[in-house]
Chains A and B, each alone.
Chain A
Amino acid sequence: MLGQRTPIGSKTILVVEDEALVRFDMTDFFEDRGWQVYEAENAEQAIALLDRHGEIRVLLTDVEMPGAMDGLRLAHYVRERFPPALLFVVSGQAPPSPQALPARATFLPKPFDLHHVLRQIDRSPVG
């Protein structure tokens, strides 16, 4: 339902990363490029932000995070609740199998290039 009122093409991103130094850097990167950035340290915070901000178009989440839900499960949750969202799953571990990833999700091994992420977002069909 939230997904249905998502403004198509909004430059809104949710960054979920427990390592603050990395998270701040990503936030600065997207803000410098005119994006509305929401930050979360863990999946619980991320879900709360998603519920409040249905306009979020892109989710970029780390896999390894403290808390009950890891990034992979968060990605699945978002794919179900907000089908149009663009998903980026980041990890320092070995990549998960394609079956383990939600549909239309991109896996990024750490460290990754934020410019590359941005280009991929720009290329993605809106909606």
Chain B
Amino acid sequence: MFRAIARIPLGRTTEDTQLRSLLDRLRTALVAGRPSFLARYGLSSLAVGGVALLRSAMFAEFAPWFLFTPAVVVIALLLGGGAGLWATLLAALCASITLRDVPPVGALSLMQVVASAIFIVTTAGLVGLVVALRHALIEADAARTELMRSAAAAAEREAFLTSVLASSTDCIKVLDLDGRLTFMSEGGQRVMEVSDFNAIAGCHWPDFWTGQGHVEALAALAAAREGRAQSFVGRASTIRGTPKWWHVALSPIRNQDGGYDRILSVSRDITALRESEDEREHFVRLAENSTDFIGMLQTDGRVFYVNDAARRMVGLDGADVTALAMTDFFLPEQVATVTSEVLPAVDRDGHWSGELTFRHFRTGELIPVLYSVFPVTDIDGRTVGYGTVTRDFRARKQAEEELRLLNGELAHRLKNVLAVVQSVTRQTLRNASDVQKASQDLSARLVALGAATDVLTNASWRSADLRELIERALAPHGEIGVRILLDGPCLTLKPQVAVALALALHELATNAAKYGALSNDAGRVDVIWQVRGEAPEARFRLDWREQGGPPVAEPTRRGFGSILIERSLRSYFGGTAGIEYRPDGLTFAMDTQLGDAVMTDGKA
């Protein structure tokens, strides 16, 4: 871009060089300095006087003015015009004196006066020419010096600009108006990883960009062509294919006519900056995407930032949080705790964490939280604010509450079961004929109770599958499906009646094993249950039928079993329940409203 100053070599001969050297020396002598007034006029007077003496000694009667002319020329050349004129006049005077020595003495003839005048005029003219020559020589020297100085200055400036361009890490390019690459700075070639500029010179610059960068480059080029500077940020690979981010500024280069014929493009590699921005962006996303409440307070307690999870938690979606203070988030009763305990602890220990309660800004709902707060410091360790990561404890508190209720419920059920065991025990002892029998009966009844409890526990005490309950209660007394046959639809029993029915079935089976159908090898028991009619009048009926056992006789004394069966089932199921001691086999029938025994809507 910078035109090199070339020296045009001259064809010189030896004589030229010698003459030039002589002239250089003369010029040096001429311009070395202007002699003082005394030197100029004294030297010229001495020279003229010297010539006059020489003339009178050697050429007394020959050409009185002739010898003066060379002296005057030399004087004019070396000492300037004034000294030349002075020498001319002095020479004319000296010549006149010499002429007067020639007879007739006393006056100059007219001829001599005219000749003197001609001498003066021509010599003065010669002095004028010599002075002009002298000035020309001086000026030429000055011009040459100036030329050398400006050439040196230009070279220096060019070296400076070249070194600036070379040392810049920006990629400085010059494009023609069509966007073709005509120049690229050395530093630019380094960052663009260009090994040979000629390989890319003349390439269409926007083609180095792809995608959105290409669009932006074309737009910037169009703007520069119209005389406007424009910049953009884009992604382009270096010549070797290293992907980089660039900040690009395009501006038109104004020429001397005021128009634009070239375009300057300065691209800065901002990949590292971009990466650090990306890194910072990741930290921002970390806070933004957290499901915990993340916030930062200024040192005066005003809110600086809260993330989306925080906004959702306390109902601040879209609100300007910077108008809020930290204390606005807490339950009013806890504000004093926060200011008198939490904040001093943060200053003292560098951290505080504990359970507090937030308040929902819109609904006023209390939100139990695990609040954690710590000082945020800058690079010099100065506290610039307070950060908090706060966890929503609603679900946990609810789980704790549920667990507490569950434990309470469990204790309640356990105590109720113990109460039932207590009653069964006392009834067993009350009706037993001896301790041995009481022990056996009690053990068997507790087993039946345990089986019923199993069925209930499986359904979390909310219901009991009827068939499973029957199977478990009867399994100890005979193989189900062989001696004991079950037939009935799939039904879910209410938990309140499950224990009583299990105990009743246990008593029936015990009785059958002792005196009835299960006491020999041939008898069998049918347990049949069914639902008849439609809700809400639907009824539930359960039948126990023994056959094939020994002949049945009504007992003389009714034991705990039959009393429990009839009395408790009637009470629990709210219907009829009765045992018939038929000769061909004992039967038991229970008939009740379906809704009193069975889950009909899935609820207890």
- Footprint of B on A, CB under 8 Å? 18-26, 28-29, 32, 41, 64, 92-94, 109-111
Could you tell me the distance between the alpha carbons of A72 and B38 in the complex, rounded to whole angstroms? Answer: 144
B427 and A109 contacting across the interface, CB-CB below 8 Å: no
What's the nearest-Cβ distance from chain B to residue A117, in Å?
A: 13
B271 on interface, CB distance cutoff 8 Å: no
Query: Given that A20-B500, A21-B500, A21-B568 are known contacts, is A93 also in contact with B412, CB under 8 Å in the complex?
Result: yes
A21→B412 contact, CB < 8 A: no
Assembled-state Cα–Cα distance A70/B493 (Å): 24
CB pair A92–B500 under 8 Å, yes or no, is: no
Which chain B residues have a beta carbon within 8 Å of chain A's beta carbons?
408, 411-416, 418-424, 426-427, 430, 496, 499-500, 503, 563-564, 567-568, 571-572
CA distance A92 to B409 in the complex (A): 9
Contact A111 B419 (CB under 8 A): yes
Q: Is the CB of A28 within 8 A of B418?
A: no
Min C-beta distance of A122 to chain B, whole Å: 20
Q: Which residues of A contact B567 (CB under 8 A)?
A: 20, 24
B194 CB to nearest A CB, Å? 85
Q: Contacts A92-B411, A110-B416; is A25 near B423 (CB within 8 Å)?
A: yes
Tell me the smallest distance from the CB of A111 to a CB of chain B, in Å. Answer: 4
Q: Is the CB of B423 within 8 A of A22?
A: yes
Q: Which of B408, B414, B571 contacts A41 (CB 8 A)?
A: B571
Name the distance in Å between B387's Cβ and chain A's nearest Cβ. Answer: 43
Q: Which residues of B contact A92 (CB under 8 A)?
A: 411-416, 419
Contact across chains for A25 and B412 when beta carbons are under 8 A apart: no
CB-based contact B415/A110 at 8 Å: yes
How far is B419's CA from A18's CA once the two chains are assembled, in angstroms? 12
State whether A21 touches B423 (Cβ < 8 A). Answer: yes
Closest to A29 in B: B426
A41–B573 CA distance with the chains assembled, in angstroms: 12
Q: Does A19 contact B419, Cβ atoms closer than 8 Å? A: yes
Measured CB to CB, the nearest residue on chain A to B568 is A20
A19 to B495, CA, bound (A): 12
| Distance between Cα atoms of A17 and B418 in the complex (Å) | 15
- Other than the given A19-B416, A21-B568, A111-B419, 9 more pairs (CB < 8 A) read A19-B420, A22-B423, A24-B563, A28-B426, A92-B411, A92-B413, A92-B414, A93-B408, A109-B415
- The minimal Cβ–Cβ distance linking A33 to chain B, given in whole angstroms, is 12
Q: Which residues of B contact A93 (CB under 8 A)?
A: 408, 411-412
Whether A28 lies near B571 (C-beta < 8 A) is: no
Q: In whole angstroms, how far apart are the Cα atoms of A109 and B426 in the complex?
A: 18
- B430 adjacent to A28 (CB under 8 Å): yes
Chain A residue with the shortest CB-CB distance to B569: A20
- The CA-CA distance from A18 to B427 in the complex, in Å, is 18
Q: Which residues of B contact A20 (CB under 8 A)?
A: 500, 567-568, 571-572
Q: Give the A-B contact count at a CB cut-off of 8 A.
A: 65
Q: Which residue of B lies closest to A20 (CB)?
A: B571
Whether B571 lies near A111 (C-beta < 8 A) is no
Inter-chain contacts of A29 with B (CB < 8 A):
426
Shortest C-beta distance, B275 to chain A (Å), equals 63
| Residue among B408, B412, B418, B423 facing the most chain A CB atoms (10 A cut-off) | B423
Q: Which residues of B contact A19 (CB under 8 A)?
A: 416, 419-420
> Is the beta-carbon distance between B424 and A21 smaller than 8 angstroms?
yes
Which B residues are in CB contact (< 8 Å) with A32?
430
**Contact A25-B568, Cβ < 8 Å, known A20-B500, A94-B408:** no
Bound form: Cα–Cα A50–B413 in Å = 29
Candidates B413, B419, B430, B563; contact of A22 at CB < 8 Å: B419
What 10 pairs across the A-B complex have the smallest Cβ distances? A92-B415, A25-B423, A20-B571, A110-B415, A111-B419, A92-B412, A20-B568, A111-B418, A111-B422, A110-B419
Alpha-carbon distance A4/B503, docked complex (angstroms): 44
Given A92-B412, A93-B412, A111-B419, also A21-B564 (CB < 8 A): yes
Which among B416, B426, B427, B500 has the greatest number of chain A C-beta atoms within 10 A? B416
A25 (CB) vs chain B CBs: closest residue: B423
Assembly CA distance A28 to B426 (angstroms): 10
A28 partner residues in chain B, CB cutoff 8 A = 426-427, 430
Name the A residues within 8 Å of B427 (CB-CB): 21, 24-25, 28
Residues of A within 8 A of B423 (CB): 21-22, 24-26
Q: Using Cβ atoms and an 8 Å threshold, which residues of chain B touch A25?
A: 422-424, 426-427
Residues in A neighbouring B414, C-beta threshold 8 A: 92
A59 CB to nearest B CB, Å: 18
Q: B563 to chain A: which residues have CB within 8 Å? A: 24
Interface centre among A19, A21, A22 (most CB of B within 10 A): A21
Q: How far is the CA of A75 from the CA of B97 in the complex (A)?
A: 172
Inter-subunit contact B415/A111 (CB<8 Å): yes
Bound-state Cα–Cα, A9 to B563, Å = 31
A sample of 28 inter-chain contacts (CB < 8 A) reads: A19-B419, A20-B500, A20-B571, A20-B572, A21-B420, A21-B423, A21-B424, A21-B500, A21-B568, A22-B420, A22-B422, A24-B423, A24-B427, A25-B424, A28-B430, A32-B430, A41-B571, A92-B413, A92-B414, A92-B415, A93-B408, A93-B412, A110-B415, A110-B416, A110-B418, A111-B415, A111-B419, A111-B422
Complex contacts, B415 vs chain A, CB 8 Å: 92, 109-111
Least CB separation from B573: chain A residue: A20
Across the two chains, which residue of chain A brings its CB closest to B499?
A: A21
Once the chains are docked, how many angstroms separate the CA of A18 from the CA of B423?
14
B566 to chain A, nearest CB (A): 11
Q: How far is the CA of A28 from the CA of B415 in the complex (A)?
A: 21
Nearest Cβ in chain A — how far from B405, in angstroms?
A: 11
Residue of B nearest to A32 (CB): B430
Across-interface contacts of B421 in A (CB, < 8 A): 111
Q: In the complex, what residue of chain B is closest to A92 when comparing beta carbons?
A: B415
State the CA gap A109–B207 with chains docked (Å).
90
Q: How far is the CB of B445 from chain A (nearest CB, A)?
A: 11
Among A29, A92, A94, chain B packs the most CB atoms within 10 A around the CB of A92
Q: B496 — which chain A residues lie within 8 A by C-beta? A: 18
CB-nearest residue of chain B relative to A41? B571
User: A92-B411, A92-B419 given as contacts; is B503 within 8 A of A21 (CB)?
Assistant: yes
Cα distance A110–B421 in the bound complex, in angstroms: 11
Query: Given the complex, which residues of A lie within 8 Å of B430, measured CB to CB?
Result: 28, 32
Report Cα–Cα, A92/B413, bound state, in Å: 7
